[in-house]
Amino acid sequence: MQPMTQRFTQELRKLERDSHDKCSSCGRSFHEADTAHAGYSINGAPLYVGDCCEAHLAETAARYYWQPRAYEIPEAEAPLWRYMDFSKFVALLKDQALYFARADSLGDRWEGAKGIASNKSKWDEHYLQFFRDGFRNPPPGADFNISEEQIEKEAQRLLCELGAAGEHDIRTTYVSCWHEGNVESEALWRLYCPPQSAGIAIRTTFSALNVSLGDDPSIRIGRVRYIDFRKTFAGVNDAIFRKRQSLGHEKEVRAVIRRFEPSEGLGILRPVELPQLLKTVVVSPFAPPWLEVVLRETMSRFGVHAPTAASELILEPFF
């Protein structure tokens, strides 16, 4: 077995992201506990393969147990919406950057949560057992000779570290939230751009959002899954893509950036290509009549050209 070099080019990261579910050489699907190998061919081309095609690797960057992706990826043309106050849109035009809010500042105290506090003992026991098993069944070649008492102490220490890592994660994870839907949402207009306010919604697509952020594999973009925390837990690596079922109407797709340390302030700005992002800018049905003109003039001042449209909610019915 060749040693792992841990050398990852951007191309290899992208291949790992795009081909996540299957061997990039032969197309065979991965299953849980299969080994995935990331590396390069003799010609230096990136490869992400299963044991089936391991022989094609001249260099192994890393190999690991394959796991299903923590989130579902929408179709390329899936329509995404972002409802916002006009002043925030002006900031977007000025900065040419998308604001990613720190997870603990999003206003939902369940962001990043693993489960319900009253079920924590079950979670703790599961992980304690997992750690104990790890010490009792070390990998071949490892020379562990520790007493049951030490195993218990080490398992408790690792559990403590796991809890601290969870707390750290929500202060080092940054999120840009979008709504997935084929049509405008009256509920979201009312929530983010209430009557008497000047609001707009950006309409884009999953693919356009990804490309406008530089097609960067370190930014994870996917659907939030709404789960019943009374019956299940979020996983250690997927909690940022799990929310309570009572928020299911949000149909959220989020872009997520992880940092090692918290930034100063409650968010970070990420450069974005506005011509790619802004498929249409829709004016709130509750906005004052002057907003559409001001919106076009403001975009033009910042040299940004994108189609604008009135909300379909202002259409008049007949009886």
Candidate segments 18-26, 161-169, 271-279, 310-318, binder of Zn ion by CB under 5 A: 18-26
Closer of 25 and 205 to Zn ion (Cβ) = 25
How far apart are CB 22 and Zn ion at their closest, in Å? 8
- Residue 53 binding Zn ion, by CB under 5 A: yes
Closer of 28 and 225 to Zn ion (Cβ) = 28
Closer of 25 and 204 to Zn ion (Cβ) = 25
For residues 110 and 108, give the distance between their C-alpha atoms in angstroms, rounded to a whole number: 5
How far apart are CB 174 and Zn ion at their closest, in Å? 35
How far apart are CB 1 and Zn ion at their closest, in Å? 17
Closer of 25 and 212 to Zn ion (Cβ) = 25
How far apart are CB 27 and Zn ion at their closest, in Å? 7
How far apart are CB 24 and Zn ion at their closest, in Å? 8
User: What binding mask, one character per residue, do residues 21-50 give for Zn ion by CB under 5 A, x or -?
Assistant: --x-xx-x---------------------x
Closer of 16 and 292 to Zn ion (Cβ) = 16
Count interface residues toward Zn ion (CB under 5 A): 7
Residues 270 to 309 in contact with Zn ion, rule: CB under 5 A: none
Candidate segments 53-61, 190-198, 214-222, 288-296, binder of Zn ion by CB under 5 A: 53-61
Q: Which residues bind Zn ion (CB under 5 A)?
A: 23, 25-26, 28, 50, 52-53
